[in-house]
């Protein structure tokens, strides 16, 4: 796999790719756990930035960020099996740089802003975007541990799981999200912060998305029966 494709995770996380590049990257995410994790972390960071009461950044900040980014190529994440061939890093389009600058500006405001004190759950930006898609299909599922909402968007080729309605667990346990295809479970995410929810590429029909309660830190394989399981194609 070319390192150029891996370098698009930042632009994808802030929806700064063209429709064609975004579709290609979603396909890549289905087989690249490294990029899935990186996208989740970037989206979570953006969502957390949005939780603060920001002060206006200096007027020249955006220009300085743009100037620096225009001369700095994004480095891809470390991915095993890429071989020893060296490739020229791909430069992010200026629209992506501008979007990233906006995120950086919000991040800078964290240093001079203050938290709002609102303890209500704050979903990740990626989760909200799926739920707000024009062609979204949703389902509300009751579980023994509270409510879970699921959303699927064919146009975005993504799905989202709103886990903010789940009951809090003790410090020794966490919720864990799994993708189950042909009876084989694969970990999607350990929900250290259920209030943020999870977004992911839309899986193929017949794949179930399930949530289990696991020991703190998560498990390699489910150790309990799922509290909920759903095939997103039926939503």
Of how many residues is the chain composed?
Answer: 235
Q: How confident is the model over 65-86, as a mean pLDDT? A: 53
Q: What is the mean pLDDT of residues 47-75?
A: 59
* Fold classification of 125-234 (topology level): Immunoglobulin-like (2.60.40)
Q: Determine the pLDDT at residue 23.
A: 80
Using one digit for the tens of pLDDT, what is the confidence trace for 179-225? 999 999 999 999 999 999 999 999 998 999 999 999 999 999 999 99
- Distance CA(42)–CA(145), nearest Å, equals 28
Whose CA is closest to 213, among 226, 200, 202? 226
Tokens matching residue 90: 């791909």
pTM for this model (two decimals): 0.52
Distance CA 136, CA 81 (A): 37
**For the chain, first and last CA: distance in Å?**
33
pLDDT for res 21: 82
Query: How confident is the model at residue 112, as a pLDDT?
Result: 38
**Rounded Cα gap, residues 206 and 181, in angstroms:** 7
- Tokens representing 31 are 């087989």
Return the closest-CA partner of residue 6 out of 64, 92, 69: 92
Domain borders along the chain are 3-115, 125-234
């Amino acid at each position: 796999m070319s390192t150029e494709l891996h370098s698009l995770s930042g632009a994808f996380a802030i929806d700064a790719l063209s429709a064609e590049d975004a579709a290609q990257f979603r396909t890549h995410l289905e087989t690249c756990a490294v990029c899935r994790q990186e996208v989740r972390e970037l989206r979570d960071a953006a969502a957390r930035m949005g939780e603060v009461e920001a002060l206006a950044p200096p007027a020249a900040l955006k220009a300085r960020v743009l100037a620096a980014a225009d001369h700095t190529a994004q480095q891809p994440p470390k991915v095993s099996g890429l071989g020893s061939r060296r490739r020229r890093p791909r430069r992010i389009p200026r629209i992506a740089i501008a979007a990233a600058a906006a995120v950086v500006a919000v991040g800078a405001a964290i240093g001079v802003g203050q938290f709002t004190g609102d303890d209500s759950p704050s979903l990740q930006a990626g989760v909200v975007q799926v739920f707000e898609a024009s062609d979204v299909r949703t389902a509300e599922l009751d579980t023994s541990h509270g409510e879970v909402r699921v959303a699927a968007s064919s146009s975005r080729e993504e799905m989202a799981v709103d886990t903010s309605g789940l009951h809090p667990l003790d410090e020794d346990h966490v919720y864990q999200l799994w993708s189950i295809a042909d009876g084989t479970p694969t970990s999607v995410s350990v929900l250290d912060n259920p209030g943020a929810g999870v977004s992911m590429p839309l899986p193929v029909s017949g794949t179930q998305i399930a949530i289990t309660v696991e020991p703190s830190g998560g498990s390699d394989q489910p150790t309990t029966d799922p509290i909920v399981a759903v095939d997103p194609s039926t939503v």
